[in-house]
Homo-oligomer: A and B are copies of this chain.
Amino acid sequence: MNKAKGIPTKERLLASGALLFSEKGFGSVSVREICKHAETSMNMIHHYFKSKEGLLEAILEQFSSSVFELPLRILDKPPRSKEDLLARLEMLFETTLDACVENRLLLLVILREQAKLSAVTLYIEKFAWFLSQGKEQGLVRKEMDTDMITGFLLDRIINQVQFAPWIEENYGASVQSQGHSQYKQQWCQANLDLFFNGILPSAQS
């Protein structure tokens, strides 16, 4: 079907590889299967990627180079005020979620193969830096051990996207539900609220 749309062979192989690896795991998919799915001949994987391993590397490369570009730019400068901190963390949350929803297949391949990506390390480091800058300016609580909570955002988002079909089955909607983005909005707002304010009432006991 892809072929009919005139998508180049290399792109078709990347897309078929991502789909099949995410569904069945790298080890369970044969070169023959990928080529059949991409509607091309057996020697094309060798031609473009040398091997099945080479195809996997190229798929992971796609993720690293572009997916977190926008979210990372949001973290480039330290927060200037409370409003700036809130607005940018909200944007960070939403753009990261969108990037993960859009690249769900790549994300699933990464998780399945436990790939260690420099893009993820960079994301966490920049987020830690942003929060520590907020701390210095009194915008984030002094007692907060920011280095230990930098995974919050990615953990929450990755699992929402990874388990979206299961969440949809149980709750009727998920962050990737087409058409009605209400769940996504509500989920983002609730998790930002948790991140900013915690569950306890602010009145001192």
> B-contacting residues of A (Cβ < 8 Å)?
24-29, 82, 111-112, 114, 116, 121, 131, 134, 138-149, 151-152, 155-156, 158-160, 162-163, 166, 170, 186-187, 189-191, 193-202, 205
The A interface is mostly helix, strand or loop, or mixed, namely: helix
Chain B residues with CB under 8 Å of A190's CB are 144-145, 147-149
With A121-B170, A151-B160, A159-B159 as given contacts, are A199 and B27 in contact (CB-CB < 8 Å)? no
Q: How far is the CA of A116 from the CA of B27 in the complex (A)?
A: 22
Closest beta carbon of chain B to A29's beta carbon, Å:
8
Q: How far is the CA of A147 from the CA of B190 in the complex (A)?
A: 9
Q: How far is the CA of A147 from the CA of B156 in the complex (A)?
A: 14
Please determine whether A198 and B205 come into contact, CB atoms closer than 8 angstroms: no
Among B145, B170, B202, contact of A202 (Cβ-Cβ < 8 Å): B202
Q: How far is the CA of A26 from the CA of B158 in the complex (A)?
A: 22
Chain B residues with CB under 8 Å of A143's CB are 193
With A151-B159, A158-B159, A159-B151 as given contacts, are A201 and B145 in contact (CB-CB < 8 Å)? no
